[in-house]
Amino acid sequence: MKKGMISPSLMCLDLMNAEAGVRELEKAGADYLHVDIMDNHFVPNITLSADFVRALRTVTKVPLDIHLMIEKPENSLQAFADCSERDIVCIHYEATVHIERALQEVKKLGCKAGIALNPGTPLCVLEDLIPDIDMVLIMTVNPGFAGQKLVPATLDKISRCRTMLQKLSPDRDILIEADGNVSFENAKKMRKCGADIFVAGSSSLFGKDGTLAENYRKLKQAIR
């Protein structure tokens, strides 16, 4: 099993002090920085932006985990043209009718390509896309807002996704990311089901019962 990795959700930062927050996450040991970009169409919210990503690149070298929750993401990818091979750009299966073409456009950026699935989207849609992806993001809540409850069936979905990837692509290291209500307890379950990357937000890393450093260590312990 691959090492469990933590990708802190930057939508949980104090944006008035974002650089200081990023420095604290670097010090804690963040493997990625998760950037949620929403358009108020695909999901009913507006969060971070391509301008925020550009600003991030001036202050950190931690790889970025860019989650595009926007309609027709292929029309907006040039805003991320400076992505590196260490970064991940993840688009939603449900967000475009030309998903394979969109994934190819992501690959042209020179980064890893991820595909995200909402809780109600079946895994079978991945079968013909396996050659085009480096990561599957399993939404364990319905996308759009922090602080939601886990959709229980998504734990089994992570397990089934791991089995599918092992069967259809045994020679490739395709990652599984869990996003939504990644609490300390849920993270343990997600890890056992086969998740590799954990999007850490208000349910764990940014919780008020401990400092960020304490919460990071606790979450890291949960996913070992």
Residues noted as catalytic = 36, 179
For residues 128 and 15, give the distance between their C-alpha atoms in angstroms, rounded to a whole number: 39
> Residue 126 CA to chain centroid, in angstroms?
17
In the chain, the N- to C-terminal Cα span, in Å, equals 10
Q: Which residue has the tokens 């045994």?
A: 170
> Residue 192 CA to chain centroid, in angstroms?
18
For residues 140 and 216, give the distance between their C-alpha atoms in angstroms, rounded to a whole number: 20
For residues 138 and 115, give the distance between their C-alpha atoms in angstroms, rounded to a whole number: 9
CB neighbour list of residue 155: distance below 8 Å, 6 or more residues apart: 140, 189, 190, 193
- How many angstroms separate the Cα of 211 from the Cα of each of 10, 52, 143, 223? 16, 25, 26, 19
